[in-house]
Structures are given as C-alpha cells and as structure tokens.
Amino acid sequence: MARPVLQVDNLTVEFPTRRGTLRAVDDISFRIDAGEVLGVVGESGAGKSMTGTAVIGLLEPPGRISGGRVQLEGARIDHLPHDQMRRLRGQRIGMIFQDPLTSLNPLYTIGFHLTETIRTHTDRGEAEARARAIELLTEVGIPAPAQRIDQYPHHFSGGMRQRVVIALALCAEPRLVIADEPTTALDVSIQAQIIQLLKRLCREHGTSVLLITHDMGVIAETADRVAVMYAGRIVEVGPVREVVQNAKHPYTEGLMDAIPKIGGRTEDLAQIRGTMPRLSQIPAGCAFHPRCPRAFDRCRQERPELLDAGASRAACWLHAGEPAGAGTGRGGGERG
C-alpha cells in the first residue's frame, strides 16, 4: 500500500485543568492518502478542531499531545523541535480557519500577507514574490488581482477574503491542507463556490485535505472518506457513500436522520435526544450509551473499539459479531 500523506496513530490530546485532566481527543487513529479528502464530522465540542490543531502543532498550552504519533509522509512530526515544526507549517501542511473576516491582519495589505508567506517558504525576491502573489490571486478567482493586491482586508467581502485565505494556505503547495469549517461563517450562496474552489485546487495540485465541517452536504459532495467523531473519539470511519447511505453506528444514523436531505445542514441535531456529555463527565462504557436507542448491557460496561462493519469501521458493540478482518478495502487499513 502506498505511503499515506498523513497517518495518525492513537493520538490523544489533554488539557490539564484545576479539576483534573480533560481529554479532548481520545486515542484516535486515521490516515489520509495522497490526493484524498477525509471529512470529519460531529457535534460541537466533539474534538474536531483539536484534532486538526494537534496535527499542525498549534495546540495552545496547556493543551498538549499526551500520546500517540503523527506522521507526515512517513516521518514523525509530533515531536519536532519548535523551529522545524514552524518551517513545516505552510510549507507542507496548510491550514484554513473558519472565519475569513478575522483570519487576515487588518493592518496589512493582501499583497503583504501573500509576499511574506511566499518569501518565508521560498527564496524568491520581493518582485518575484509579488508576481507569484498576483498569479495566486488569479488562480483563486479574485478579479483584477493586480489592483486588488494593494488593498486591505476590509476592502474584501467574506467570500473574497476566504479566497485570499485559501491562496495563502496553498501558496507553498503543501501536501496536506486542514480546512476547519472553511464555509461555516460565509453566506449560504457563497459556500458552494468556496468548496468548489478548494476541491478544484486540491485536485489540480494533488493536495490531500482534512475537511472539518458540520455540513453533511459538503461532506457528501467533497469527501472520499468520512470520520465521525463523538466525545473525543472516532466512532465511525469509512467511504463517504457507505457512511452516508448505510451508517453503521447509531450516532451516525442519528446524524443522517437529522438531515432532511443531502445538501441540508446538520446544525439542528434535535433528532438525537440529549446532548453530548461534557469532557469531565464522559460516561463509562460506550460514551454514546445514554443517548443511544439501541444500547444494551455491554454498552454500559465496556468501551467499544473500532470494529469492522462492512466497508466501514464502527465503534459499536452491535458489530461485535463480525469476524475480525472481514472488512475489506480502506476501512481495514486504518491502523496500518
């Protein structure tokens, strides 16, 4: 099997607090292959952003990676010295945040943002960097880039700013882009355009994507595979079609039922009764059991690991019966 671009094994992220240590990400493993888009979904607080932030090495202290490994193209990156990790950011892993309105420094022009990033990662001079910046702006669909390059962020609309942010994240042609809810803050009418742009650019450049979102519609349209997170863990992972149409985990089923149709949003998860537990009060056994309509005794005592379930893997005792290794295709490779 080809070397994955990103491989995460048993990653755990913890926050020491006065009332004990909180585990925001609990022993998760996944991989992303070259050119692949992995969608990550789950309710607010599930640990999606923490996972992305941990991968790119930007956890805010006291949060820290307390266990597991992160490998980028076969080399471990979770223990790199500060300066090496910094060089890797932007260069080999790019990141796009949710709110384009606050992602750019209001005191600098778009051109300044672009040239400083280009010059950090290449040995281009100022003039060359500027020429490249104009190219990039053209590529992300900013009209009249030669004029707009000298304008400030407040001259741009939200959608245009997110295009600039995408140009910034992709300007050193990274192998992997982590997009944390890249369209949530935007007008609905613009969301599809931005997702299309991201998808096209990544396909053209062969960039892999870790796409964090609430929007199952976006996932269905964009992702190759999906990981569903609940209370800091991955509860189901598999090919997108399989997860969307044939969910194996009761939580994923609930998520899918909550969508009126593909393309709708999952903001309203009222159909799963209750709310996700706080990190300090995660129940024993399966973390989902207080809300699960199909919970049985074993669920309250033992915590399920990811088990093979058809083409996917699901952390649910309902799938305990299937013989180990029965899963075929990608699902079985999660640990590889």
Partner 1 sequence: MIAFIVRRLLQSIVVMLVVALLAFSMFRYIGDPINQMVGVETSSEERAELRERLGLNDPMLVQFGRFAADAARFDFGVSYQHKKPVSELFADRLPATLELAFLSAVFALACGIPMGVYTALRRDAWLSKVFLTVSLIGISLPTFLIGILLIFVFSVWLGWLPSFGRGETVDLGVWTTGLLTVSGWKAALMPSITLGLFQMTLIMRLVRSEMLEVLRTDYIKFARARGLSDRAVHFGHALKNTLVPVITITGLQLGSIIAFAIITETVFQWPGMGLLFLQAIQNVDIPIMAAYLILIAFFFVLINLIVDLLYYAVDPRLRVDRATSAGH
Ligand X SMILES: Nc1ncnc2c1ncn2[C@@H]1O[C@H](COP(=O)(O)OP(=O)(O)OP(=O)(O)O)[C@@H](O)[C@H]1O
Binding site for partner 1 (CB under 8 A): 56, 58, 86-91, 94-95, 97, 99, 102-109, 116-117, 120-121, 152, 154-155, 157, 165, 168-169, 172
- Judged by CB under 6 A, how many residues of this single chain contact ligand X? 14
**Considering only CA atoms, which of 230, 225, 274 is closest in space to residue 252?**
230
- Binding residue for ligand SF4, selected from 304, 310, 327, 331, defined by CB under 6 A: 304
- Judged by CB under 6 A, how many residues of this single chain contact ligand SF4? 13
- Judged by CB under 5 A, how many residues of this single chain contact Mg ion? 1
Q: Which amino acid is at 259?
A: I
Nearer of residues 156 and 251 to Mg ion, judged by Cβ: 251
Cis peptide bond prior to 62, omega within 30° of 0: yes
DSSP H helical ranges for 172-267: 188-205, 216-222, 240-245, 250-257
Which stretch, 45-53, 187-195, 258-266, 318-326, contacts ligand X (CB under 6 A)? 45-53
- Considering the rule CB under 6 A, would residue 316 count as an interface residue with ligand SF4? yes
Q: Residue 56: name its binding partner from ligand X, partner 1, ligand SF4, none (Cβ under 5 to 8 Å by kind).
A: partner 1
Extract the tokens encoding 92.
Answer: 């080999």
Extract the tokens encoding 185.
Answer: 């803050």
- Considering the rule CB under 6 A, would residue 294 count as an interface residue with ligand SF4? yes
Extract the tokens encoding 66.
Answer: 């307390």
- Considering the rule CB under 6 A, would residue 24 count as an interface residue with ligand X? yes
d(CA 319, CA 310): 9
- Considering the rule CB under 5 A, would residue 49 count as an interface residue with Mg ion? yes
Q: Which amino acid is at 117?
A: T
- Footprint of ligand X on residues 54-73 (CB under 6 A)? 63
- Binding residue for ligand SF4, selected from 295, 307, 309, 311, defined by CB under 6 A: 295
Three-state secondary-structure class, residue 299: helix
Least Å from the CB of residue 213 to ligand X: 9
Least Å from the CB of residue 177 to Mg ion: 16
* Angle (CA) 309 313 318, round 5°: 50
CA atoms within 13 A on the CB side of 324: 2
Least Å from the CB of residue 53 to Mg ion: 9
Q: 78 vs 101, 123, 198, 265, CA distance in Å?
A: 30, 27, 26, 34
- Footprint of ligand SF4 on residues 246-265 (CB under 6 A)? 249-250
Q: Residue with structure tokens 């390059």? A: 149
**Considering only CA atoms, which of 162, 174, 178 is closest in space to residue 37?**
178
Least Å from the CB of residue 40 to ligand X: 8
Q: Residue with structure tokens 């790019």? A: 94
Q: Residue 22: name its binding partner from Mg ion, ligand X, ligand SF4, none (Cβ under 5 to 8 Å by kind).
A: ligand X
Nearer of residues 49 and 191 to Mg ion, judged by Cβ: 49
- Considering the rule CB under 6 A, would residue 256 count as an interface residue with ligand X? no
Residue 89 DSSP one-character state:
B
- Say if strands 6-17 and 64-72 run parallel, antiparallel, or are unpaired: antiparallel
Binding site for ligand X (CB under 6 A): 15, 17, 22, 24, 42, 44-50, 63, 279
Binding site for Mg ion (CB under 5 A): 49
Binding site for ligand SF4 (CB under 6 A): 249-250, 286, 288-289, 292, 294-295, 299, 304, 316-318
